[in-house]
Amino acid sequence: MGWLAKLVGKLRGTPSPPRDPDATFERLVWLEPHENPFGVRVLDCRPIAETFLSASQDAASIRFFGSLEARSGEQFRGQRPEEPVRVACGLAYPRATPFPEGPVFLAGTMEEKWNIYHFAGVLYFARSWTGHLQYTATLAPSPSELQVVEVEAWPGNVPGDDAMAVRQVDFLLRSHVLGQVVPHPAPPLPSKKGIALWSFSQYGRRGLYAAVEGVVDGTAEPSAALPPTV
């Protein structure tokens, strides 16, 4: 569980629970494949994702949020995550319009955890509070599709095998850029509460459904296994 210790060390800020957090955690339920539109078993994290607030007593941890640097992202051009793991992949999404240079998604509230930028055929995924660069995704030229051929990731935010990095990038693209509601990948933590809190720390308001097992077949090609837009 070394990755979890590293993750906790990097994540700044803690979720601020509602007045009766125990009642909120009791509302976390598993939805079987026939009980949801995704066709896989998911934990319904909406009781946490839709009610918890993000808070921090460390002003330095949220310096980046709302700054001119965050709005530009130019400082990420040509950068890589720290000691990155590299995973070849073949993600593809229908998209007729190419990305502009600069931000393609910016967090609008403290409960949104990611900013995403595009420069010269590479997507950059940074935490919205700290500006910590955690993933890059290399794009292939295509007139009709968004194609990702390689992901680089900071290993401290990749629980499990390296293919998890591709699943995380796949979710971020689908949920933050393409506006889809799909399950997010989550590690096999021992409790529903732990999974939901991890999901909120990672994805905030967009971490609605956690797929701990069975979303993909272990390869780095999650887009074929995830369901269509909901």
Q: Residue 133 in contact with residue 79, Cβ under 8 Å?
A: yes
**pLDDT, block means (10 residues), the chain with 230 residues:** 42 54 85 95 96 77 86 96 96 87 94 96 96 97 91 94 95 96 94 95 96 49 34
Cα angle: 70, vertex 11, 149; to 5 degrees = 65
pLDDT at 219: 33
Q: What are φ and ψ of residue 34, in 5° steps?
A: -80, -5
Measured in whole angstroms, how far is the alpha carbon of residue 163 from the centre of its chain?
14
pTM summary value: 0.83
User: Residue 53's beta-bridge partner residues?
Assistant: 16
User: CA–CA separation, 204 vs 112, rounded Å?
Assistant: 5
Quick one: pLDDT at residue 14?
Answer: 53
Answer for the pair 43, 192: CB distance below 8 angstroms, yes or no.
yes
Comparing CA positions, the residue from 217, 161, 164 lying closest to residue 186 is 164
Residues 6+ apart with CB under 8 A from 10: 132, 156, 157
Instruction: Report how far apart, in Å, the C-alpha atoms of 129 and of each of 63, 78, 143, 214 are.
Output: 7, 21, 34, 31
Contact 174, 125 (CB under 8 A): no
> What pLDDT score does 163 carry?
93
> What six digits make up the tokens of 126?
């940074």
Model pLDDT, residue 193: 94
Q: What pLDDT was estimated at residue 142?
A: 86
